[in-house]
Structures are given as C-alpha cells and as structure tokens.
Structure 1
C-alpha cells in the first residue's frame, strides 16, 4: 500500500469561528454535531480537513499552542490569479488578517491569510497544487 496524506487536523480555539472562516474561504464545511467538538470536510482530492477543539490538547500531555509565529501553511489551489486576488480581498474585507497580499512569488501567484487560530492559509493558482495535477 502506498502511504497517502488523508487528513489535516487543526486544533482550534473556537469551532464556530473556524467554520465561518473556512466557509468564507469557499469550503462547504458542515455544522458540528452537538455531542462532538469536531468538524470534518472531505475535499475532492480525498484529503479531509478536520477542525477540533479537543484532540491534541486532550491526548498529548506535552501539547501547547504556539505563542509566536506559525508552524504550517495550508495551501489551497483556488484556480487562476484572479481567484487568488478575489478570495484574498473577500477574506481581508471580512476582517481576517492578510499576511501577504496577492504576489508573484518565485513560484506560484499566491497570497496568505490567517484563519481565526493563526494558521496560515496559502491561496494559490499553482497548477501543481491542483487536485487534477
């Protein structure tokens, strides 16, 4: 069996705030169940984005939330350069922190915005990040 990335798990502070952000990004994130502090959204690529308020904090006694900087980038292929600009403007106009405006990098055309927990979301038109690549 070939090893596959199946899920990205984000330990979030506020499940509703995270749901609103990822919906504003364009994902059809479901409402959480009342009995479980978790939301799972499976993307067409097969990777699931899982948002939870209690996994690492419950099962890893050494876990602590970063106090400075960020540890990862979540890259979302959004289509063409215009889509990168449009989504970045929509998210920053909604009050989310824009970390990097739409920019022609050494690689893809990209922008960065923080989700409510400070996770950095990379918006890109890089064809290599497309689920069809």
Structure 2
C-alpha cells in the first residue's frame, strides 16, 4: 500500500480566532474546543486536519516567535504534514533512510508522553514533515 498523508496541522497563535475562521470556512469544529491547545477534525477522506497552539507539548524543540531565543520565522514552522508509519521501528528506519539521502533532519526520533514516536524532517523546500508511529504497535511502552 502506498504511503498516504495522515494529518495536516497548522500552528496557531490564537486558538479562538483560528477556530472562528475555520468554523466560518465550514469545518465541523467540536463545541468547547476553545479551551483546547490541540483540536483535530477528521475529514471525510480520512485525513485529519488539526490546529495546535502549543506544539512544544509534542515537539520539545519548537520555538514560538513570541518566546525568547526566537531569531527569525525560519527557526520553527507554521504547518506540519504528518505521515503515519505505524511503528517506532518504521519511523526510525524512514528517518535514517531520508537523512542518509541528505535530507535535513529537524528532530531525531523521539518518544512522546502520550504513546507516540515522532521524527521531524524537512522536505527539499523546507516544509516540516512529521513521521509518526505508535509505541504500543512497536511493543514499546511510552515510559521506555
């Protein structure tokens, strides 16, 4: 089976304003989402569109333009294309393969506190690509 885009994520500075815009656009944003820092909407195609106002929760290296130490807009990212590879091993293998071809690794593979294994890599145009897999599918606990 060919790899498919799993999620498209946008980093937002103001969740309330972003939710208002996307509701007006026509997305079915769940009620009460204004208090969340991560809001996902499953599209009819199976793709999940998400907004996130606190990406440092799942990417400890993320630097917001409002945080000390931020030098310029290119230091972090505004959007994320996520490709789900199912397992930790598949994420590690794909990351090694892509960096081996010379693509820029942005974050080496790492475990999240919520049971996922992530790695970030830049495509040739500098877009952020998130490779993801489940730790449980790998037989690895999230505490390992």
Q: TM-score, normalised by structure 2?
A: 0.41
Q: TM-score, normalised by structure 1?
A: 0.44
